[in-house]
Structure 1
């Protein structure tokens, strides 16, 4: 497929050209200045081997009418959490939709989807054909390794406002006899549009598997004067138990100090906080800590806090609300996502 890219930092691979005008000559292709990236396709060796570049190279090797889909299409649209890496850090194959025709070009690094494409399922983004977000997300959820992976695909696409749950449900209703559809439907039934990281999805599933309670995701908490106190990753409002996922950013420095301040605050508020971390065996440890938090919680204690939002606060808990923000308000109310400072007071 011939690509005419407009995005800086990536290049379309070239085919061998006997004159060396549009691509390497046969001799040049055998040298160190060019790298073979697909069937009869080469790129200059000095071009960085980024995720975006790999996506370009795989799509270029496919027939006309094909498009990047799944996580690759979402990555190309700058979705934060679709980095092309498996849980063990290995590279994921690039998923490409070729429609309901057989693709002859199968090679390492590519994952071909031959599910048919609806009219309007493919669009050009910076010169690269990609499937529209609802198609990309529903595909990623259908082929996910498990139910948690399906939910992560949905909620992390919602994080970047690429697809709402309602939009995904409407598209899913059009899918007939697609593999993985039931997994997709189950995930949509419980999906939340206000989740800020993949591990928050994991923590929520651990929690509800042991204590099946309704949980609020990234629910801001205020004092009774309307001042923002903090925003926990998860909150059981009835019990007064909150959950926080501690990644590497929490280990040292200013963030660790903020966490200690947060611990002092929640003790004064009477909110029991249970923390989750990554690592082998963490699920069982988290569940033990969770049960301890519920044992200590006192839901009848007078609460000096509330989730009722004051007039000055702007609710950003849904895709629709975030899409409606002006660029200035988006920076003010969502800028914390880039730093992970989900507890800062923006007032």
Structure 2
């Protein structure tokens, strides 16, 4: 099956798979240090595996290519950019040239049509450890006058570190922008007063005692669902209120925001000293986390 001039793939190949789409798009790049895959596709290639290149409704998002040395013939599924590109901002990973993470995130923040989708991509890159929010902010500050920079700055203000999936980011944005509540803590461990770890929750308002959880497809498994219900029951027994969001809620923002507000009104605002739960990390937890960090950097 022909993919582009002189290039073919076997008929059985799934050409809608993210990695395949990125490979086929990158194959038409000229052999130049100033040509690379960028945007969400570069981030996926660098290791942000949550990025599937799909917009709401399953629509395929174009793969972005940037080149300043030779025109590429337009083709379906690919978006071309002629912005200047410093070769120092290109890395070759498994034979494919991609722009470095901070530049790739900034490209999305500058060019994505939807604010929330842009923030989801950016936070997914942060979670994958490809870059930090400070690095992206610093990179954006070096692009005054570039197309989309005012939009990128607005989107940077919406970003936060600590989300573990695009779904969690979507829930946080509904929590903040649609429900109008303050920014919650992200992926924070909750303990009992006797130093037992109860759960690490997706979102938490520590003042009101409101937990927010995003349940993706993996939560539909029977064993996972049992654990989720047991965990919810235990958190409620400690006096925490609980609200869950599922994938279908991402596109029913006002209804989801109302559920968050309803749960927020049900919270019991207990003084920190009187709560049976705490965010203070016991020594055993600190030691374990230090060991995990050491293994990751080894």
User: 5+ residue gaps in structure 1?
Assistant: 1-34, 331-347
- Structure 2 equivalent of residue 279 of structure 1: 248
- Structure 2 equivalent of residue 55 of structure 1: 22
Q: Which has the higher strand share?
A: 2
Q: Aligned-pair distance for 1:63?
A: 2.3
- Larger deviation, residues 301-310 vs 185-194: 185-194
- Structure 1 equivalent of residue 293 of structure 2: 325
CA-atom RMSD, angstroms?
A: 2.5
- Structure 2 equivalent of residue 31 of structure 1: none
Taking the aligned partners of 2:158 and 2:14, their CA distance within structure 1 comes to 40
Taking the aligned partners of 2:198 and 2:93, their CA distance within structure 1 comes to 40
Q: What is the number of equivalent residue pairs in this alignment?
A: 291
- The aligned runs of 1:124-135 (5 Å cut-off) are 124-135=92-103
- Cα offsets for 1:311-346 (capped at 9, x unmatched): 2224999xxx99x9233689xxxxxxxxxxxxxxxx
Q: Give the 3 Å change call, closer, same or farther, for CA 184–229 of structure 1 in structure 2.
A: same
Q: Give the 3 Å change call, closer, same or farther, for CA 315–72 of structure 1 in structure 2.
A: farther
Query: Does the Cα contact within 8 Å between 1:61 and 1:105 map onto a contact in 2?
Result: no
TM (norm. structure 2) is 0.88
- Structure 2 equivalent of residue 257 of structure 1: 226
- Structure 1 equivalent of residue 283 of structure 2: 311
- Structure 2 equivalent of residue 196 of structure 1: 164
Taking the aligned partners of 1:47 and 1:78, their CA distance within structure 2 comes to 22
Secondary structure class of the residue paired with 2:88: coil
Query: Does the Cα contact within 8 Å between 1:62 and 1:105 map onto a contact in 2?
Result: no
Q: Which has the higher helix share?
A: 2
Matched, 1:112 2:84: no
Query: Does the Cα contact within 8 Å between 1:138 and 1:184 map onto a contact in 2?
Result: yes
TM (norm. structure 1) is 0.76
Query: Does the Cα contact within 8 Å between 2:198 and 2:235 map onto a contact in 1?
Result: no
Q: Over alpha carbons, which structure has the higher Rg?
A: 1
Secondary structure class of the residue paired with 1:162: coil
- The aligned runs of 1:4-153 (5 Å cut-off) are 35-45=1-11, 49=15, 50-65=17-32, 66-99=35-68, 103-153=71-121
Q: Aligned-pair distance for 1:48?
A: 5.5
